[in-house]
Structure 1
Amino acid sequence: MAATYREPRAPGFWPLALLFGAFVLFLYGPMLTIFVLSFQGPEGGLTFPMRGWSLHWYRQLAEGLGVVDIGAAFRRSLALGAVVMGLTVALSLLAALAFRKRLRGSNLLFYVTIASLIMPSIVVSLGIGLQFRLLDSGIKQLAGAWGLDDWLETFTTSLGLFSSALGAHLTWTLPFGLLIMFAVFNRFNPAYEEAARDLGASPWQTFRHVVLPLIGPSAIGVGMFGFTLSWDEIARTSQAIGDVNTLPLELQGLTTTVTTPAIYALGTVTTVVSFAVMALAIGATRALKRRQGGSR
């Protein structure tokens, strides 16, 4: 049996491998540390060494952390992330379809759309918060002029989860979705659509049965980006959320008051949700590709 020849490593391989290993450790080491420390026993602290192994801090998290309603914040973030995900996919797809044709002012519109990526997140949040406070003043003046005094007694602000906070998150997720869908359609072969039209398919049938299945994996990826970016967002939400908090904002606030591994348990739960969404997106993409392969 002939021996296989292995090409020798380049002189710079091991230094670069060590550098890459250090980068991966720096990137994921803190996350793994939090995971491990969250499983400490009742006497555990915020640092090593470990003091036993248990689910004590997860049970405490389920019971609540002081006056903070973690369950309500979790549901708010989940609902907001789902809405942001759906809108990001829908608007990115529609915009990419529109930009396939030449539009007057399309370059200016494109750069305006992605400009929020280079704006500091806190400035975007402050600007959105200011806009909605000005809107509140206008609403109160109109309500007073129309004699809606009873309604004014119950009105507080238009800032909210699915108004200002939703808009703030879309300024972060939509540019990413647009860039992905633009790249997808730049590589899309229009011959498939022409073949469908030659066979008598209507524009809607062409989109549903030809275009959408081909770009489906990319649309799922856009949805995954939309949810995970919204799920972890703090800066753009901080000044635009109103009277309630999302889970990341509650987590940020708890870092100054909670001095037990319960804060690590909460961080672990939020990270697991992000990984679960990514796993679902990957599974859905693979299932869609298998379905396309089986239909050929």
Structure 2
Amino acid sequence: MNERGRRFWILAGIFTLFALFLYGPMFAIVALSFQGPEGGLVFPMRGLSTYWFSELWKGVGVVDIWAAFGRSLRLGAIVSGLTLLICVPAALAYRIGFRGASLLFYTVIASLIMPSIVVSLGIGLEFRLMDDEIREFVANHETSAGLFTSALGAHLTWTLPFGLLILLAAFNRFDRRYEEAARDLGASPGQTLWLVILPIIAPSLIGIALFGFTLSWDEIARTSQALGGRNTLPLELRGLTQTVTTPAIYALGTMTTAVSLVVIGISLALITLVRRKRVRH
């Protein structure tokens, strides 16, 4: 075996071990979720069926899994949309430049550095203090914290920095000659944005929407102290790991993973369609 071949197989072996370490637990959970009625939480598998998925459909104990599923789905969709709506004008502002841009950029990125649980505690405390003030005027007020208030804000502190970084990278590679050509042809700034800039960066926009949804879909730490009375699916799943002792918990994990894979697949398909359409034109 020559030197090049030896290096290749060593690196291939390291990569294989890394892939097994990274994805092995997920494959194990998926496999164990397809056991028969006598299945347990560990290998070897006992039978092969979709029994535990049918049990999951009936419900897991006193927890309303499908309500939590719907809450996470709605929250993820709103986070995805808001991340796009906020990041696009923010990135366009950075293209133009404004006073305090560097300070604002580092303030936004600091959210990625701060421990997630600290962010969650801070948001939860902020809403509790706000509730105390509201109770001074509204006697029956319970809490302002909830799925689309405190939890939404907590998730946006996680998704907005990623979205802004993606768009700044996209605009860094953007060829301004397309804009100049549009202006030479008489396009207004609005037409240039809508007909030239946004179609060119469309794959990045799809990527931001994907990031927004998936980061919200499986977020636990930033939600734990800032949610209010009703849990999202990841929080319910974490709680069930302490009480459920059947492969139904694996079936739930498989379903949540499947949702993420479906969203990723749709996003990749949209990116492919956008690129093909651009090549044809």
TM-score (norm 2): 0.98
Q: Is 1:281–2:276 an aligned residue pair?
A: no
Q: Is 1:163–2:158 an aligned residue pair?
A: no
Matched residue, 2:167 = 181
- Matches of 1:102 and 1:35 in 2, distance apart? 48
Matched residue, 2:18 = 23
* 1:46-78 Cα shifts (integer Å, max 9, x gaps): 001111111111011010001100000000000
Aligned-residue offset at 1:142: 2.7
Matched AA of 1:179 = L
Matched AA of 2:27 = L
Matched residue, 1:39 = 34
Aligned-residue offset at 1:11: 3.0
SS in 1 for 2:97: coil
Matched residue, 1:70 = 65
Q: Is 1:100–2:106 an aligned residue pair?
A: no
* 1:155-180 Cα shifts (integer Å, max 9, x gaps): 31000000000000000011000101
Matched AA of 2:76 = G
Aligned-residue offset at 1:10: 3.8
- Matches of 1:241 and 1:11 in 2, distance apart? 53
Matched AA of 2:223 = T
Matched AA of 2:144 = S
- Matches of 1:233 and 1:56 in 2, distance apart? 28
SS in 1 for 2:82: helix
Gaps spanning 5+ residues in structure 2: where? none
Q: Is 1:211–2:197 an aligned residue pair?
A: yes
- Matches of 1:102 and 1:262 in 2, distance apart? 53
When structure 1 is superposed on structure 2, of 47-56 and 11-20 the one drifting more is 11-20
* 1:120-143 Cα shifts (integer Å, max 9, x gaps): 000000000000000101111133
Q: Is 1:250–2:245 an aligned residue pair?
A: no
Matched residue, 1:196 = 182
Matched residue, 1:141 = 136
Matched residue, 1:263 = 249
Matched residue, 2:82 = 87
Matched residue, 1:172 = 158
Matched AA of 1:287 = L
Gaps spanning 5+ residues in structure 1: where? 1-6, 144-151
- Matches of 1:161 and 1:91 in 2, distance apart? 19
Matched AA of 1:213 = P
Aligned-residue offset at 1:116: 0.7
Matched residue, 2:104 = 109
Q: How well do the aligned residues superpose, as a CA RMSD in angstroms?
A: 1.1
- Matches of 1:272 and 1:116 in 2, distance apart? 29
Matched AA of 2:37 = P
Matched AA of 1:187 = R
Aligned-residue offset at 1:90: 1.5
Matched AA of 1:27 = L
Matched AA of 1:180 = I
Matched residue, 2:4 = 9
- Matches of 2:85 and 2:24 in 1, distance apart? 36
- Count of residues in correspondence between the two structures: 280
Matched residue, 1:225 = 211
Aligned-residue offset at 1:102: 2.1
Q: Percent identity?
A: 64
Aligned-residue offset at 1:100: 0.6
Aligned-residue offset at 1:8: 7.2
- Matches of 1:56 and 1:244 in 2, distance apart? 28
- Matches of 1:114 and 1:162 in 2, distance apart? 23
Structure with greater Cα Rg: 1
Matched AA of 2:54 = R
